Amino acid sequence: MTTSHYIAGRWVEGQGSDCISVNDPALGLPFAELMAASVAQVDQAVAAARAALPAWKNVSASERAAVLRGFAEQLGERREALITLQMRNNGKPRHEAEIDLDDAIATFAYYAGLAEQLPGKNRDVPLAAPGFSARTRLEPVGVVGLIVPWNFPLVTSAWKLAPALAAGCTVVLKPSEVTPLIEQAYGQIADALGLPAGVLNIVNGKAETGAALSNHSGLDKLSFTGSNSVGSQVMRSASAQCRPVTLELGGKSAIVVFDDCAPDQAVEWIVAGISWNAGQMCSATSRLLVQDGIADVLLPRLQAALDNLRVGNPLTEEVDMGPLTSQAQWLKVASYFATAREEGLQCLAGGQVLEREGWFVSPTLYADVPKESRLWTEEIFGPVLCARRFATEAEAVAEANDSRFGLVATVCSADLERAERVADALEVGHVWINSVQAVFVETSWGGTKGSGIGRELGPWGLSAYQSVKHVTRCLG
Pairing, β 287-291 against β 384-390: parallel
Q: Which residues, 6+ apart, have CB-to-CB distance to 419 below 8 Å?
A: 258, 411, 412, 413, 433, 434
What does the alpha-carbon distance between residue 408 and residue 394 come to, in Å, rounded to a whole number?
18
Whether the Cβ atoms of residue 249 and residue 406 lie closer than 8 Å to each other? no
Q: 119 and 295 in contact (C-beta within 8 Å)?
A: no
Distance CA 254, CA 410 (A): 7
CB neighbours of 128 closer than 8 A, spacing ≥ 6? Answer: none
Nearest to 465 by CA among 240, 196, 166, 214: 166
Strand ranges (DSSP E) for 92-244?
123-124, 132-140, 143-147, 170-174, 200-202, 221-225
Query: Do the Cβ atoms of 262 and 430 come closer than 8 Å?
Result: no
Is 369:345 a contact under the CB 8 Å cutoff? yes
Q: How far apart are CA 380 and CA 363, in angstroms?
A: 13
The span from the CA of 405 to the CA of 450, in Å, is 5
Rounded distance, CA 365 to CA 314, Å?
A: 23
Evaluate whether 33 touches 26 at the Cβ level (below 8 Å): no
DSSP reduced 3-state for 434: coil
Output the CA torsion sign for 282, 285, 287, 289.
Answer: positive
* Residues annotated as catalytic (active site), given as ranges: 248, 282
d(CA 417, CA 377): 29
Residues 6+ apart with CB under 8 A from 356: none
